[in-house]
Amino acid sequence: GINYIGMEGELNGCINDVHRMQHLIEQLDFPRDSSSQRVLLDDGSTPQRPTMANLRAAIAWLVQDASAGDAFFFHYSGHGGRVQTDDGFHETLCPLDMHGAGMLEDTELFETMVRPLPSGCRLTCILDACHSAGALNLPF
């Protein structure tokens, strides 16, 4: 959850969204311990902030050692964006350090979070951000 505290474009509800989502996924029998979840908030309440490097590391952690029958849950609440490249528009997630590190593009999200999953895995992904409808760059 990224509220972009003290920054231009500050949001007010993203951290609260994460706390509410934690209660929901607990009801769905996802464990809440630190070995089962990586929570990145920009209010200083978590060990890691939602920077580009930490988002990438959390995504890699999420899908590592995935096997058939596993169920994964990814939730993002923060700014989303859209950039134009030679091959069209790409939807993005905006990490806390986006002005220096850039934005996390849909193609990278697909390659790092979706493609590594073997058949038989389930990934539930909730993206609460502008332009997030195509943010996983799914081929279907």
E strand or H helix at 25, and its extent? helix 14-27
**Could you list the active site residues?**
79, 130
Q: Look-up: residue for tokens 């069209």?
A: 88
Query: What is the mean pLDDT of the segment spanning 10-31?
Result: 94
Q: Are the C-beta atoms of residues 2 and 14 closer than 8 Å to each other?
A: yes
The 10s digit of each residue's pLDDT in 23-62 is: 999 998 888 888 899 999 999 999 999 999 999 999 999 9
Q: Are the C-beta atoms of residues 91 and 106 closer than 8 Å to each other?
A: yes
Would the pLDDT of 140 be above 90? no
